[in-house]
């Protein structure tokens, strides 16, 4: 850990012009520190920091850059906040972190600053993810959600509309593969390896059948209820080794996307970033042939997507919470989110940005993303979510691996684990 913490200083500080290590004076600007992971487009973020510094001469933001890995970044920020490090003022949080950071007392309660009127300007899912115990601890910066990509050229060729149900996806896929006489073509490609992505995929199947994994009001697991069990059984019996290749049990995002861009799948589930990859003719065989929309659902139910994304939090121990909030407001404003959408191709969390003429002109596909974003749901909110995720990963992976798996037996065991973990989470809540 000490090596990792030292590396954050070595990786560099994108300090604004004129800021150095020197003795401060009364008329010097207030320096606040933003701890972030290494971005994909450092130049874009640097421009925003410089713009804030120009517009706020009384405040200067110093950026500390940690590794791009979410796991490594979480380890760094957790260690610093655990030690009540006052040198960090603003930090990024993954969408599943706010309950943990709030419960640990690391994230500042923003309820009085981030008012209900302001929150209404953002999409519902990210606001829910940042709310814990009736208070809000983060401001959404940009989001992700599970999206349904499809070969629009093949659907048009066989006079199909994008399937709205999972059964329609299967039936359309069978017709296309038979007509194309292409045994190497698969119906579906998604992420079914035992990792966090598996939880995201399986929750989407469960939610789109009207199911869930836990009822926060009763404190009981709902994984054993018919809607959830039916959805898991559907994946085992109709997706793995049938609609999707059996190798999908080892697929994370890159492997599943590669199958799709090589023209070996008709339908594909992935995050928003995949749009640019599949439409880049340098690496994709299907560039210009892709459509996108909400994921299918089971008959009689609605589409659902797992929420992803990042938000700004303020260190509870910051010496400069007022200035930190000023920076967070700037970084989550309409103009900043518009700038990020156009220049960094990230999906905004403010509703107004999707209707901005400049954004619509530059990124017309965002309009197709919006229905899925509006249906995006956060994963179970708990300070012990990582432990809950591990239990779900084990269950889902074992359940879908083969036709003879005893889902009912495993579901009872996992339900007991989940109830104990949620109870543990409520016991340690401050």
Question: Do 135 and 248 reside in the same domain of the chain?
Answer: no
Domain membership of residue 186 as a residue range: 147-306+380-427
Question: Do 302 and 320 reside in the same domain of the chain?
Answer: no
- Report how many domains make up the chain: 2
The pLDDT assigned to 255 comes to 97
Question: Do 271 and 174 reside in the same domain of the chain?
Answer: yes
Q: How confident is the model at residue 2 (pLDDT cuts 50, 70, 90)?
A: very low
| Mean pLDDT computed over every residue of the chain | 92
Percentage above 90 pLDDT, the chain = 85
Question: Do 24 and 114 reside in the same domain of the chain?
Answer: yes
Q: What is the pLDDT of residues 217-272, one digit of tens each?
A: 888 999 999 999 999 999 999 999 999 999 999 999 999 999 999 999 999 999 99
Q: What is the pLDDT of residues 186-225, one digit of tens each?
A: 999 999 999 999 999 999 999 999 999 999 888 899 999 9
Q: What is the mean pLDDT of residues 82-99?
A: 96
CA dist 389 and 394 (Å) reads: 9
Q: How confident is the model at residue 16 (pLDDT cuts 50, 70, 90)?
A: very low
Question: Do 372 and 384 reside in the same domain of the chain?
Answer: no
Q: What is the mean pLDDT of residues 160-176?
A: 98
SS3 270: strand
Q: What is the mean pLDDT of residues 321-339?
A: 98
pLDDT at 24 over 50: no
Residue 260 contacts residue 191 (beta carbons within 8 Å): no
Question: Do 139 and 222 reside in the same domain of the chain?
Answer: no
Residue (of 65, 9, 55, 56) closest to 31 by Cα position:
56
Beta bridge partners of 59: 30
Question: Do 89 and 181 reside in the same domain of the chain?
Answer: no
Question: Do 151 and 121 reside in the same domain of the chain?
Answer: no
> For position 341, which CATH number holds?
3.40.190.10
Q: How confident is the model at residue 25 (pLDDT cuts 50, 70, 90)?
A: low
CA Rg value for the chain: 23
Q: How confident is the model at residue 12 (pLDDT cuts 50, 70, 90)?
A: very low
- Select the more confidently predicted residue: 339 or 40: 339
Question: Do 324 and 224 reside in the same domain of the chain?
Answer: no
CA dist 32 and 29 (Å) reads: 9
Question: Do 140 and 163 reside in the same domain of the chain?
Answer: no
Question: Do 402 and 367 reside in the same domain of the chain?
Answer: no
The pLDDT assigned to 157 comes to 98
The pLDDT assigned to 223 comes to 95
The pLDDT assigned to 314 comes to 98
Question: Do 52 and 21 reside in the same domain of the chain?
Answer: yes
Place of tokens 């709310």: 131
Q: What is the mean pLDDT of residues 35-57?
A: 94
């Amino acid at each position: 850990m000490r090596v990792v913490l030292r590396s954050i200083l070595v990786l560099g500080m994108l300090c604004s012009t004129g800021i150095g290590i020197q003795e401060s004076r009364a008329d010097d600007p207030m320096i606040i520190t933003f701890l972030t992971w290494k971005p994909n487009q450092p130049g874009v973020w640097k421009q925003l920091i410089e713009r804030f510094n120009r517009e706020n001469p009384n405040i200067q933001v110093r950026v500390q850059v940690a590794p791009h890995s979410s796991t490594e970044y979480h380890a760094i920020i957790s260690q610093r906040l655990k030690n009540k490090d006052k040198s960090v003022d603003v930090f990024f949080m993954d969408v599943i972190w706010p309950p943990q950071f709030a419960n640990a007392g690391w994230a500042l309660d923003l309820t009085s600053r981030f008012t209900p009127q302001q929150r209404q300007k953002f999409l519902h899912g990210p606001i829910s993810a940042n709310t814990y115990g009736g208070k809000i601890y983060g401001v959404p910066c940009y989001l992700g959600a599970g999206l349904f990509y499809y070969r629009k050229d093949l659907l048009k060729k066989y006079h199909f509309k994008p399937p709205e149900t999972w059964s329609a996806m299967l039936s359309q896929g069978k017709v296309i593969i038979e007509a194309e006489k292409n045994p190497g073509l698969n119906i579906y490609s998604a992420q079914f390896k035992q990792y966090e992505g598996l939880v995201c995929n399986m929750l989407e199947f469960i939610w789109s059948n009207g199911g869930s994994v836990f009822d926060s009001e009763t404190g009981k697991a709902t994984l054993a209820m018919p809607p959830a069990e039916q959805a898991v059984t559907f994946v085992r019996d109709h997706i793995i080794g049938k609609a999707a290749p059996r190798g999908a049990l080892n697929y994370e995002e890159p492997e599943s996307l590669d199958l799709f861009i090589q023209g070996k799948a008709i339908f594909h589930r992935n995050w928003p970033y995949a749009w640019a990859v599949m439409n880049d003719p340098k690496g994709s065989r299907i560039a210009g042939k892709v459509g996108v929309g909400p994921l299918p659902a089971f008959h009689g139910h609605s589409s659902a997507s797992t929420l992803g994304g990042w938000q700004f939090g303020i260190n509870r121990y910051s010496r400069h919470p007022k200035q930190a909030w000023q920076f967070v407001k700037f970084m989550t404003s309409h103009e900043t989110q518009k700038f990020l959408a156009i220049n960094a191709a990230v999906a905004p969390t403010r509703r107004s940005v999707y209707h901005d003429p400049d954004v619509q002109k530059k990124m017309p596909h965002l309009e197709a993303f919006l229905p899925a974003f509006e249906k995006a749901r956060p994963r179970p909110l708990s300070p012990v979510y990582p432990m809950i995720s591990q239990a779900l990963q084990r269950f889902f992976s074992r359940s879908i691996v083969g036709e003879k798996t005893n889902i009912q037996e495993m579901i009872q065991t996992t339900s007991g684990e989940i109830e104990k973990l949620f109870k543990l989470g409520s016991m340690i809540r401050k």
